[in-house]
Structure 1
Amino acid sequence: MHQLSDPELLELYKQHRAGQDKYAYFLMAIVASAIAFTVNKTTGLKVTCTDIPLGLSVFFWGGSFYFGCKYIDWCQTATFSNFNLLQLKKGVHPQQPQHTQEVEAAITAVTSALESNSSNAGKYSGLQFKFAIGGALMFLIWHSINVYLFTIAI
């Protein structure tokens, strides 16, 4: 991680992180809007069995929003772990160990935590996307059912 002192690498890292965050917030905005749209369009309507896919779409979109929040939380945790790791490596951590073996043990522990935090962030990012798509598919199924029912009713 000490290679991030290179200004070009640091800038690339910042751009990558900013892009990931924007994507997560973008998906969260989409699914929140989809939920609001669904609530608005169904207010006052009688619920039938054919609305099960619509309920599932709201469930999936809610899950996507939740997983997006978890992704952002784990990214923040990973960033803090990375900050601690860099402090340990530079010897400026507020609780910097004094002995070389303790420093190496601390670096190993924080590196392990960083890897775990990054892995969790990746897991939640994937779930956020999958649940957003699942919600969209359920909504399209619901819409197709209603178009079909309306067509045969004519």
Structure 2
Amino acid sequence: MAGTAIKELIFEAHKGQAQFAYFLLGGSGGAIAYALHETAGISLADAPWPLGFAVAFWALSFALGCFGIDARQDGLLTNASFLRVFGDVPPQPANSPGAQVVDEATESVKKDLKKPVTFFRWQKWTLFAGALAYIAGHVLQMAAIPPAKPTSATPKPVSGLAARAHL
């Protein structure tokens, strides 16, 4: 009974991880498409450099997601092969040659299962870094726009304590 519950939890965790990875893939792909659409008529000299970094971060996020999904598949296949070969092997004495083979195979599976976690973690952070770079690019664009100069005919708005003093 407990074995079935553990299998169910592992299945749900992998399912959730895959859904999140595909969500981030869609987000980074959509962000790249949006940035390219918004900057379609702009020359490179006019585009602020953070926008280029944003697209590069989003492209990296997309690639890391693809690599993570590939590494996840490899890890699951390695784990399945391990269970097929060593699943019904009784525990070996620590000094036996069979125990060393099982330990090496176990370490190989653990290593293969850690790769996707690293890829997915970096996929998320590069997506965020791209968003921050995109915002920085727009802030730089807004900072480059000179402020509107008030005309002499337009009175300056008075607010706060200064407004009460005029009354």
* TM interval, short-chain normalised: 0.7 to 0.9
- Give the aligned residue type for 2:83: L
How far did 1:103 drift? 5.0
Structure 1 counterpart of 2:132: 137
Count of aligned residue pairs for this structure pair:
142
- Decide whether aligned partners of structure 1 residues 6 and 43 sit closer, same or farther in structure 2, where only a CA change above 3 A counts: same
Unaligned runs of 5+ in 2: 90-95, 149-167
- Decide whether aligned partners of structure 1 residues 46 and 153 sit closer, same or farther in structure 2, where only a CA change above 3 A counts: farther
TM-score by length of 2: 0.76
- Give the aligned residue type for 1:145: L
Indicate the RMSD between aligned Cα atoms, in angstroms: 2.1
Could you list the per-position Cα deviations for residues 83-131 of structure 1 after superposition, in whole angstroms to 9, with x for gaps in the alignment?
0111122359xxxxxxxx6654443232111111122222211211111
Higher Cα Rg, which structure: 2
1:21 matched to 2:21? The reply is no
Unaligned runs of 5+ in 1: 93-100
State how 1:72-91 maps to structure 2 within 5 Å.
72-91=69-88
Q: Is the 8 A contact 1:72 1:121 kept in 2?
A: yes
Q: Classify the secondary structure of the residue corresponding to 1:15.
A: helix
Taking the aligned partners of 2:124 and 2:78, their CA distance within structure 1 comes to: 25
Structure 1 counterpart of 2:143: 148
Q: Classify the secondary structure of the residue corresponding to 2:42.
A: coil
Percent of aligned pairs sharing the same letter: 25
Q: Is the 8 A contact 1:65 1:128 kept in 2?
A: yes
State how 1:43-122 maps to structure 2 within 5 Å.
43-48=40-45, 51-91=48-88, 104-122=99-117
Q: Classify the secondary structure of the residue corresponding to 1:46.
A: coil
TM-score by length of 1: 0.82
Structure 1 counterpart of 2:32: 35
Q: Classify the secondary structure of the residue corresponding to 2:48.
A: helix
Which is richer in helix? 1
- Give the aligned residue type for 1:85: F
How far did 1:50 drift? 5.1
